[in-house]
Amino acid sequence: MDRLYFLITAVTAFFALLVVVFVIVFAVRHRDRTGERVTGSIHGSIPLEIGWSIVPFLVTMMIFAWATAAFFDMV
């Protein structure tokens, strides 16, 4: 159970740190220096959308399977 807890903590810390780093990097890279409003269309990426949907799902299913196995071992 301790290893499962530490895995969940590590995954949470990793993704939280990743989000913080990306927010800071993109805020610095894309800051508006002119003060003008920029209007334009936003282009999406289907592979990126699928990737950040599938990867967390797979990580969650791995944690669920491990927790289920640990529960049945305890019972």
Q: Residue 65: its pLDDT value, please?
A: 96
What averages of pLDDT result for each successive group of 10 residues across the chain (75 residues)? 92 95 92 73 87 93 95 93
Q: Residue 73: its pLDDT value, please?
A: 93
Distance between start and end Cα atoms, the chain = 13
Would the CA dihedral through 46, 52, 55, 61 be positive or negative? negative
CB atoms within 10 A of CB 41: 5
Q: Residue 71: its pLDDT value, please?
A: 94
pTM comes to: 0.69
Q: What does the domain layout of the chain look like in residue ranges? A: 2-30+46-74
Q: Residue 8: its pLDDT value, please?
A: 93
Q: Residue 33: its pLDDT value, please?
A: 76
CB atoms within 10 A of CB 58: 10
Give dist(CA 53, CA 62) in Å, integer: 15
Residue among 66, 75, 48 nearest 1 (CA): 66
